């Protein structure tokens, strides 16, 4: 239940704080804690190094797993999956001629956190036009945070794409989330809510105006509030 918020904090940290250097794997600790899996993990790291993937990212993950005392077999499976995600993401980024580790780690993290491949492709497509890693990260975080509230990625993707091309502040992005929840509280169908919010943002309307437009489109009467006054 708390996996997504924790991931969001970690991801937000990754986006806001630039990578400061290489992580160093404590091989001795790995061999003593996971003797059966240590060899396979080292092989994955070597393969990553040969392929030009960010080894430090995988080393950090292994260190993190060891510190959190994740069972060795589960740690191995997680690192294998992380490696596969890095390979897949690098292939996608190659299509927009981006070879930076920063973008690779961001999109791989978003994928590992639960975004579908199609969402990652959509975000990479927008990133290919803007080359704004911060906005792309914000869009990914937006998708994850709405997913936590039971909204599907497909439903909110039109807004995530807009966020990926914008320079909105964290407060403004939070206000967009609030508008979506406000629309849902008025029993407006989600697709229609997203469409109304998006068209309002695109046409430069204020958040107050978009909120008012949503209120105009509520299907049913409110029990209390403007209808009854």
Partner 1 sequence: MVVMNKPRHHRALWVCLLILLAAPTWAPSSEMSGMLSIGSGWTSNHYEDASGSPTLLGDLMAQLAIQSATESGHTHWRFSAGARGAFALKDENAILASLSWEQGFRLDQGLFVLGAEIDHDYIPKKDRRNYDDASWTRFGGQGYASLRLDGEESSLTFRYQAGYDAFPDHDPDAFTHSLSGRYAIGLEISTILTARIGAGQTLYNERHPVDPAGSPLSGGVQELFVESGLELEHWFSATTGLTLEAGFLRRASNASLYFCGPGETVLLVDGDEAFFDDFDSFSDWHSRAGFTHRTGMVRTGLEIGIRQRVYDARPPFARNDTPDVSGSCSTLRLDLGLSLGLELSETCLVESLLQGFTITSNDEKLESTGFGFRLGLRILL
Q: Shortest approach of partner 1 to residue 135 CB, angstroms?
A: 19
CA distances from 30 to 73, 104, 125 (A): 13, 26, 38
Stretch that binds partner 1, among 23-31, 46-54, 130-138, 172-180 (CB under 8 A): 172-180
Binding of partner 1 at residue 216 (CB under 8 A)?
yes
Stretch that binds partner 1, among 59-67, 93-101, 109-117, 167-175 (CB under 8 A): 167-175
Q: Report CA torsion sign: 25, 27, 31, 37.
A: positive
Cβ proximity to partner 1: between 8 and 125 the closer is: 8
> How big, in percent rounded to 5, are the helix, strand and coil portions of the chain?
75, 0, 25
Cβ proximity to partner 1: between 50 and 229 the closer is: 229
Binding of partner 1 at residue 88 (CB under 8 A)?
no
Q: Shortest approach of partner 1 to residue 216 CB, angstroms?
A: 7
Cβ proximity to partner 1: between 75 and 179 the closer is: 179
Strands, DSSP E only, in the chain?
none
Residues 173-212: x/- map of binding to partner 1 (CB under 8 A)?
A: -xx-xx-xx-----x-xx-x-------------xxxx-xx
CA distances from 73 to 25, 66, 156, 215 (A): 18, 12, 36, 52
CA distances from 10 to 113, 118, 135, 179 (A): 10, 22, 16, 25
Residues 134-163: x/- map of binding to partner 1 (CB under 8 A)?
A: -----------x--xxx-------------
Q: Which residues of 27-66 are buried (b: 16+ CB within 10 A; e: fewer)?
A: eeebeebbeebbeebeebbeebeeeebbbbbbbbbbbebb
CA distances from 225 to 17, 140, 222 (A): 44, 35, 6
Q: Shortest approach of partner 1 to residue 122 CB, angstroms?
A: 21
Cβ proximity to partner 1: between 31 and 215 the closer is: 215
Give me the residues that bind partner 1 (CB under 8 A), please: 1, 145, 148-150, 171-172, 174-175, 177-178, 180-181, 187, 189-190, 192, 206-209, 211-212, 216-217, 219-221, 226, 229
């Amino acid at each position: 239940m708390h996996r997504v918020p924790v991931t969001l904090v970690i991801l937000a940290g990754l986006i806001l704080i630039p990578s400061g250097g290489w992580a160093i794997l404590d091989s001795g600790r790995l061999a003593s804690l996971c003797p059966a899996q240590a060899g396979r993990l080292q092989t994955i790291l070597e393969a990553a190094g040969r392929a030009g993937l960010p080894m430090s990212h995988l080393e950090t993950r292994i260190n993190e797993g060891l510190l959190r005392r994740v069972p060795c077999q589960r740690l191995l499976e997680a690192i294998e999956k992380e490696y596969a995600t890095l390979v897949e993401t690098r292939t996608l980024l190659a299509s927009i001629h981006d070879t930076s580790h920063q973008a690779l780690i961001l999109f791989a993290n978003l994928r590992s956190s639960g975004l579908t491949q199609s969402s990652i492709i959509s975000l990479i497509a927008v990133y290919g036009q803007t080359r704004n890693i911060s906005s792309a990260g914000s869009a990914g975080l937006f998708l994850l945070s709405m997913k936590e509230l039971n909204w599907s990625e497909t439903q909110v993707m039109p807004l995530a794409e807009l966020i990926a091309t914008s320079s909105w502040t964290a407060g403004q992005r939070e206000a967009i989330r609030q508008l979506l929840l406000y629309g849902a509280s008025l029993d407006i169908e989600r697709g229609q809510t997203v469409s109304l919010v998006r068209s309002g943002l695109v046409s430069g309307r204020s958040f107050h105006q978009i909120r008012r437009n949503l209120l105009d489109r509520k299907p049913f009467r409110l029990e209390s509030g403007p209808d009854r006054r």
